[in-house]
Amino acid sequence: MANFLDTTVDELIENFEFLGDWEERFAYLIELGKKLPPLDESEMVEDNRVHGCQATVWLRMLPISGEPLAFEIRADADAFIVKGLIAVLLLVYSGRTAQQITATDCTETFARLGLDKHLSPTRRNGLHSMVSRIKALAAESVAQTV
């Protein structure tokens, strides 16, 4: 789960508000990305690839035993800023059930962090591609249990 970051979404937003300019915020995002546990090379395969990102991104959703069934999201990228964006997504989605994932709209979180205004269009598209992939995997798991 996202506990490797030792923070919550609300704390992340507070930290962003505390930091002055976007150069500091991007540096903070990069630091978060450096804390991501790396994927094993065996996980960096085409089936796990997120299309629509300028960077190369791999993403997996693994079930966490328990009731209700929740999912751990594991992901990696070849760009530091994208790794930071992945860390944000893990805070929002990892450790949740498929129903929670599909019902969660992260638009407000992105807006509160300022990501909607300060990411380049290609990074924004990539971020939305990652969200779409997470939601598609969650929807797939719901369909398989019905």
pLDDT digits (tens, 9 = 90+) for 44-77: 999 999 999 889 999 999 998 777 889 999 999 9
Query: Domain ranges in the chain?
Result: 2-145
Structure tokens at 107: 């638009």
Pick the closest to residue 84 from 115, 111, 105 (CA basis): 115
* Chain mean pLDDT for the chain: 89
53 given a catalytic annotation: yes
On whether the CB atoms of residues 50 and 136 are closer than 8 A, the answer is no
Q: Using one digit for the tens of pLDDT, what is the confidence trace for 98-142?
A: 999 999 989 888 988 988 888 889 999 999 999 999 999 999 887
Other C-beta atoms lying within 10 Å of the C-beta of residue 42: 7
Give residue 117's pLDDT: 86
- φ and ψ at 50, to 5 degrees? -100, 120
- φ and ψ at 77, to 5 degrees? -150, 165
- The fold adopted by the segment(s) 2-145 is Sufe protein. Chain: A (3.90.1010)
Residue matched to tokens 């997470």: 134
The residue from 53, 85, 88, 98 that is catalytic is 53
**pTM summary value:** 0.90
